[in-house]
Amino acid sequence: MKKRIFDIIQIGYKGDLPSRIFDIFISVVIILNILAMTLSTFDTLAPAGPLFETVELVTVVVFSIEYILRIWTADLLYPGRSAIGSRIRFLFSYDGVIDLLTIMPFYFLSGFIVFRMLRVVRIFRLFKINSQLDSFNIITSVLKEKRNQIISSVFIILILMLASSIGMYSAEHAAQPEVFENAFSGIWWSISTLMTVGYGDIYPITVVGKIMAIFTALLGVGVVAIPTGIISAGFVEQYQKSEHSDRKYRDLSRIGELLADKESGFIGVAVSELNRSYGFRVLVIIRNELTIVASDNVKISEGDILVVETEKLITEK
């Protein structure tokens, strides 16, 4: 029973109907809770206050039961740990913290004002949808895979922001000493300009300052495009991977394995070149304990096992 409950409350597969129903049910409960919280702030809907409170109570009870079940089945989520260690691991995990934040404010809303401030934390319930619907996990996957590129682009943005702030201070301090007091006083202006917002509350009045503002605004268009392009490319890659992984093969006899040793002639050769030269298609590459998607620019290393598709049966291993 414990194993079955664990399978149901985790992200469900399409073939497991109870698990998929549970995911949809939790998502609906989350949306109802957020709607009740939002609608309760309208004075015109004050007569419906008891209804909103009932919805809040019922949904939080559902969240609490789910949270207890996840703690109870944590040893199945982390099989390599002890019963206590797995539960502690869950409590401090991303899902565990989000689950706690979804129910904690309900029990601490009365009393000290510091606990009333936790009302805003209830919005974190929306993040639970990400842990319930596997279709949302692609966003997390893209951010993880592209984190180095995103960090690099953010670093470039910070450098340009600081440089434009210092440059604007040098050009505008004499003309507007109350606006550009020091090198960091132009940070707000540089952010709004680089992000192509341009609120207009702070702006240059000198010729040099206006020229710098023009170049900063033009750079801002490219700066915004850098992380956008990185994330967009990541979504395309994830989509291609999902399409590749969902492919169905009608003739499994045409699937085989090839070992990339010194005699094979595969070492150091790109996947695209192998496909053209040998007349087969590399599907995936097994390298040590990793399974690598066979992108065209991936180069074969010694000891790799190539899972390939060809027109005839492959007997070599």
| Structural contact between residues 100 and 122, judged by C-beta atoms closer than 8 angstroms | no
Give the least confident one: 124-128, 239-243, 291-295: 124-128
| Sequence ranges of the chain with CATH classification 1.10.287.70 | 147-244
Fold of 252-309: Alpha-Beta Plaits (3.30.70)
Whether the full predicted model's pTM is greater than 0.75, yes or no, is no
Taking the C-alpha atoms of residue 307 and residue 317, their distance in angstroms, rounded to an integer, is 10
Q: What is the pLDDT of residues 55-70, one digit of tens each?
A: 988 988 988 898 899 8
Domain boundaries 147-244, corresponding CATH code: 1.10.287.70
Q: What is the pLDDT of residues 178-209, one digit of tens each?
A: 888 887 778 888 888 877 777 777 888 999 98
DSSP 73-131: THHHHSTTS-HHHHHHHHHTSHHHHHHHHHHHHHHTSSSSHHHHGGGGGGGGGGGHHHH
pLDDT of residue 51: 93
Q: Which long-range contacts (CB under 8 A, 24 or more apart) does 9-17 make?
A: 9/66, 9/69, 9/70, 9/73, 10/77, 11/131, 11/132, 11/133, 11/134, 11/137
| Sequence ranges of the chain with CATH classification 3.30.70.1450 | 252-309
Whether pLDDT at 13 is above 60: no
Fold of 2-132: Four Helix Bundle (Hemerythrin (Met), subunit A) (1.20.120)
Residue in 202, 179, 206 with CA at minimum distance from that of residue 189: 202
Q: C-alpha distances in angstroms, 88 versus 25, 93, 96, 107?
A: 27, 9, 9, 22
Whether pLDDT at 99 is above 90: no
Whether pLDDT at 220 is above 60: yes
Q: What is the pLDDT of residues 151-166, one digit of tens each?
A: 888 888 888 888 888 8
For the chain, percent of residues with pLDDT exceeding 70? 82
| Sequence ranges of the chain with CATH classification 1.20.120.350 | 2-132
